[in-house]
Chain A
Amino acid sequence: MTLLIGALTVGLILSLLALGVFISFRIFEFSDITADGSITLGAAVAAVLLVHGVHPVIATAAAFFAGTVAGTLTGIIHTRFGINKLLSGILVMTALYSTNLHVMGRSNVPLLDRRTLATQAEHAGAWLFGSTADLRVWGWDVAMRDATMLVLALTTAATVGLLIYVFFRTNLGTAMQAAGDNPQMIRALGVNVENMIVLGLAVSNGLVALSGALLAQYQGFADVQMGIGMIVWGLASIIIGEALVGVRQLGLIITGAVMGSVLFRLLVAIALRGGLNPNDLKLVTAVFVFVALVLPGLVTRLTSRRRRQAEAQ
């Protein structure tokens, strides 16, 4: 049970990463590898502030803000200096590695005995139920800490998902969508496409950093290596989400990205339990995303070839 709740919680926390990647990858078709650096940046900023006794909410907000700065940099490097998308992201990601080490002062910052969102949530839960004892949910014993963290992650994911949905229904949000969909058209309608890309990447990386900040507080430490391959994780979540709910409606796509992240985390937890070597995890993730990206094209090619053969006969 603890394992299930843990997987759900991490899945929900990482769904913020997936939503960030959704904005860069699906709205702008920008494979923004900055995410690998900004998730660590978020964790690092939050952890260091928490160690210095800053209020967890403020520390988390600061992490989000730091992420938006990273995204802005990538956006400016791409739009103002004409560096290609992938390279802009690689440059900022590489620079962030050193930045993160500087922010943390070492490669790992533990958060033992610190006041974090996790401990805050636990206190709130204890106050609500009048005790810190384990909860009994449908006959299962659940630690208060695990339960409250799950509720916190769920609330955050739902709120952020809703905010993104609402944003893409506003004048600014529809203009941003159009900037990704058809830049020529929206420029002719008076929108500065370059600014939209910068804004989109800022929000995207802000969400990724927020995800990192929550992850650090949940697992109790920030580590300079924690971001490696995270963009692929986000892509996997989006692809699973699209397979689950389709790509037709924005609300569904957003819900799908969250569901995809949770499902993927569950699958990973099951695979690890079933004996998958943790060292192989990134390899398996990369192969999964590769297959998911080529499979739809392959399937249509095969079916159309079969149809052609059938017609030829």
Chain B
Amino acid sequence: MLAINTIRKTFNPDTPNQVRALQGVNLTLHEGTFVVVIGTNGSGKSTLLNALAGTFIVDEGSIVLDGTDITRWPEHRRASLVGRVFQNPFSGTAPRMTIAENLVLAARRGQARGLGWALKANVRQQLRDRVSQLRLGLEDRLDNSIGSLSGGQRQALTLLMASWLRPTLLLLDEHTAALDPRMADHVINLSEEIVSRDKLTTLMVTHSMQQASNLGDRLIMMHRGAVLHDFSGAEKQRLRPADLLARFESVRRAELLDESAAQMLRCAYV
């Protein structure tokens, strides 16, 4: 179970560039829940996922994962519990190393790394088996360097790597946004297969209303660093892309209203 208790994060505090990116996010996820996260640009989706992964330490609040308070854990320590796929397909793999070497690195996520041989002969069959599940034919190219692969192939491998050892929490941040539509579909299908097969607690950020309505068993919409809407159960299953777009529209109108109200106040009092 994941409990996020009123976390806050302000970037560049007390400077002209101050951004209050997380303004008291509260969220409790039961084990095995697949949550889709949507929201406008800059609403704090990536910041929320980064806070969970430990890219930075939150200013306030706490994060409890599986009964352990990980609020102050540095990123590399949280890796023992958290698997991650980034938006940029080049972020999740080491380009100068081979597919096999990358996978073996992921197979020891969060574990001590000593002077044991990394690529033992007997793991190759296992690597082949699991890579073939990606249905991209990469199992015959295990000794090619990652740098020679396409973004989509790299993203599929990153997904496999993040879930190689069953993570307590899986974070997917717009992980198909940079891919062409066919590859994006493929990676989304793979994600769903893996998440449902391993019953992974997952947070997936997306800008695709199609994905948001089709996937997951809960949906949250973020706005200005907080959770604005939270749908689960039958309510989530009923949501259609058009409903979600309507929600975005009402957020936009509220913004405009705010703007014009501020404008009016300025005119009246300044």
Q: Footprint of B on A, CB under 8 Å?
A: 167, 169-175, 177-178, 181-182, 184-193
Contact = CB atoms under 8 A, between A and B. Distances in A.
B41 interface: no
A272 B220 CA distance: 73
A185 B94 contact: yes
B50 to A, nearest CB: 11
A88 B91 CA distance: 27
Contacts of A167: 115
Interface string B100-119: 01101110111101111111
B86 interface: yes
Tell me whether chain A's interface is mostly helix, strand or loop, or mixed.
helix
A190 B115 contact: no
Nearest to A172: B113
14 contacts: A167-B115, A171-B114, A171-B116, A171-B117, A174-B101, A174-B104, A174-B105, A182-B93, A182-B94, A185-B91, A185-B93, A187-B75, A188-B82, A189-B105
A188 B53 CA distance: 8
Interface in B94-139: 94-97, 101-102, 104-106, 108-111, 113-119
A189 B116 CA distance: 18
A171 B94 contact: no
A35 B223 CA distance: 52
Given A184-B86, A189-B106, A190-B111, A174 B97 contact: yes
Contact of A189 (B74, B79, B115, B119): B79
A248 to B, nearest CB: 8
Contacts of B94: 177-178, 181-182, 185-186
Nearest to B110: A190
A172 B111 CA distance: 11
Contact of A190 (B80, B97, B116): B80
B270 to A, nearest CB: 43
Interface in B59-95: 74-77, 79-80, 82, 84, 86, 91-95
A175 B75 contact: no
Nearest to B101: A174
A107 to B, nearest CB: 40
A166 B80 CA distance: 26
Contacts of B113: 171-172, 175, 191
Nearest to B77: A190
Contact of A178 (B74, B97, B110): B97
Contacts of A188: 53, 75, 79, 82, 84, 92, 162
Contacts of A193: 76
Nearest to A247: B96
A170 B114 contact: yes
B151 to A, nearest CB: 14
Contacts of A189: 79, 105-106, 108-110, 161
